[in-house]
Every structure is written in structure tokens, then in C-alpha cells.
Amino acid sequence: MLEPEERESLERGMLTLRITWVLFVAALVVYIIIANIITDDFIEEVSLDNILLWMMRITLLVISVFCLIFAYFIKRFMLKVYLRDSKRNFIQKMFASVSIILSSGAVLSSSYAVSRYMSTLISCIAFSASVGIFGLILFIIGGGFLTFYCFISAIAMFSFRPRFEEIERLAIDLKHQQDSEESPQLNANL
């Protein structure tokens, strides 16, 4: 289990994450407000051909799907803890966060868990928010669909919202990893 000071550190990190998450959701609301403020005259001036508009709509939809899938896999890979570095594949090494190391060489599991979870979640939320931006772009060029894209983006952001259970599980797993790496070294020294 976690020590009280480690748990407190996780809770402070969660506060920052919750504020960040609320700001991203507020940005979605701003997109919808901007779209409602823009007049129909402006949209008619910017409108594109039906074929070009259709191609943009399909392209942005495909990019949106890839963004959401990529966000899911980022979260899945970044929140796994592996006992040995040799078991990690290229993608997991590519997204690995830099650990915080003390002069004694011990990893601060709660600080590392907060930074790792924060970078993972902000990346996922940013990919989710990009879907709403694509909807705003389509709306401005006359394609509509802002509400649809913002709805998908809001659902994705809700599914990637900060959860204390996830960061706590990550911190416990990192602590177990640290303990398992120290155990062979102690036995070798005896």
C-alpha cells in the first residue's frame, strides 16, 4: 500500500489534472459558442464546393478516428508497468517518461506516477480535443457537423477523465517494481 505522504502527493497531482481536464472541456463549450456567434453570411463566403467539402468531411472524420484510437493506445501503453526493461517494445520505450531519481538511485514512485499519469492523460485529452477542433473547422468552411464532432470529443474526454484509482494503481505498481528490482541486489550483496 501507499504511505500517507505518497497518497497526498497523488491527490495534489490529481487536482492539477482535474483542473486541466475541466479547461479542455470548457474549450469544447467555447467552440460551440464561437460557432453560434459566427453569422451565416460569413459561412456562405467561406463555403467550398460540395465535392471538396465532402472530401474534407471524410478526411477529418478519418483523422478523428485515428486520433481517438491513438489516444487509447497511448493510455494503454503508458500506464503499464513492466518488471524488466527487456520486455518493453519500441512503442513503449518511445513513450516512456523520464523517471525522477534520487542521489541514492531510488525512484520516487508517487512523483514518478504523477508525472507519468499527467503526461499520459494530457496527451489523450489533447487528442480528444482535436476532434472538436476538426468539427469547428468543418463548421467554419460550411460543412456543419460541429455538434457531432464536439459530442464525440466530449465522450472521449469523459472516458479519458482523471481517475484516482488509475494513478493509485500506477503508483502501487511502480512501488512493487522498485521493490522487486532492489530485492535481487540485496540478495547479491549478501
Residue the block writes with cell 503508458: 78
If residue 12 lies in a helix (H) or strand (E), which one and from where to where? Answer: helix 4-37
Residue 116 has what pLDDT? 85
User: For residues 158 and 160, what is the distance between their CA atoms, to the nearest angstrom?
Assistant: 5
User: For residues 160 and 71, what is the distance between their CA atoms, to the nearest angstrom?
Assistant: 9
What is the distance of C-alpha 68 from the center of its chain? 10
In 3D space, the residue among 5, 91, 104 whose CA is nearest the CA of residue 82 turns out to be 91
Cell numbers placing 126: 489533447
pLDDT tens column, 12-52? 888 888 999 999 999 888 888 887 777 665 655 555 667 77
The residue ranking higher by pLDDT, 66 or 36, is 66
Cell numbers placing 122: 494530457
Cα torsion through 52, 55, 60, 63, rounded to 10: -140
Give SS3 for 101. strand
Look at residue 104 and tell me whether its pLDDT is greater than 70: no
User: Can you tell me the mean pLDDT for 147-171?
Assistant: 85
Give SS3 for 95. coil
Look at residue 66 and tell me whether its pLDDT is greater than 90: yes
Q: What is the CA radius of gyration of the chain?
A: 22
The residue ranking higher by pLDDT, 64 or 179, is 64
User: For residues 87 and 30, what is the distance between their CA atoms, to the nearest angstrom?
Assistant: 44
Residue 168 has what pLDDT? 85
User: Can you tell me the mean pLDDT for 1-9?
Assistant: 80
Output the average pLDDT for the chain: 75
If residue 126 lies in a helix (H) or strand (E), which one and from where to where? Answer: helix 109-140
Q: What is the DSSP letter of 96?
A: P
Q: What is the pTM of this model?
A: 0.72
Give SS3 for 132. helix
Q: At 182, is the pLDDT very low, low, confident or very high (cuts 50, 70, 90)?
A: low
Helices first, then strands: H and E counts in the chain: 7, 0
What is the distance of C-alpha 40 from the center of its chain? 35
User: Can you tell me the mean pLDDT for 48-69?
Assistant: 83
Residue 187 has what pLDDT? 46
User: For residues 158 and 152, what is the distance between their CA atoms, to the nearest angstrom?
Assistant: 10
User: Can you tell me the mean pLDDT for 56-77?
Assistant: 88
pLDDT tens column, 118-140? 888 899 999 988 888 888 887 77
